[in-house]
Amino acid sequence: MTTAATKKNTARAAEADDELAYVTLDFRGVTYTVPDRDSAPMEVLEAESDYEALRLILGEEQWAKFKATKPTVGAYRKFNTAVYEAMGEDDAGN
């Protein structure tokens, strides 16, 4: 038997699961805010490359901020790893 209190608690739990969480990281003097791994947009899973996934995670504004630093490929790889670690992922897919 489901009570009103149980329904209310279930609804609260569902709402909590839908809350988005973000983390910040600093990379080479620039601060970025990224979603934690469970808050990242679904499109990240559909990305055809790590490059595309990182761009989706950052969003256009932060992607432009990163690109403005004139990164090398090596810096990109380090940044990609730093972002995934900040998100709580074990493997950045590099």
Domain assignment present for 61: yes
- pLDDT tens, residue by residue, 1-38: 544 554 444 444 445 556 899 999 999 999 999 999 99
Give the Cβ contact number of residue 71 at 10 Å: 15
Note every long-range contact of 25-30, with CB atoms under 8 Å and residues 24 or more positions apart, other chains counting. Answer: 25/82, 25/83, 25/86, 27/66, 27/78, 27/79, 27/82, 28/69, 28/75, 28/79, 30/65, 30/66, 30/69
Domain assignment present for 57: yes
Mean pLDDT of the chain: 84
pTM summary value: 0.74
Domain assignment present for 94: no
Residue range(s) defining the domain that contains residue 28: 20-87
What pLDDT is stored for residue 21 in this prediction? 94
- pLDDT tens, residue by residue, 66-87: 999 999 999 999 999 999 999 9
Domain assignment present for 5: no
| Number of compact structural domains in the chain | 1
Domain assignment present for 24: yes
Domain assignment present for 4: no
pLDDT band at 49 (very low <50, low <70, confident <90, very high): very high
Q: Quick one: 48 exposed, middle or buried, by C-beta within 10 A (0-12, 13-18, 19+)?
A: exposed
Domain assignment present for 32: yes
Domain assignment present for 51: yes
Q: Is the pLDDT of residue 91 over 70?
A: no
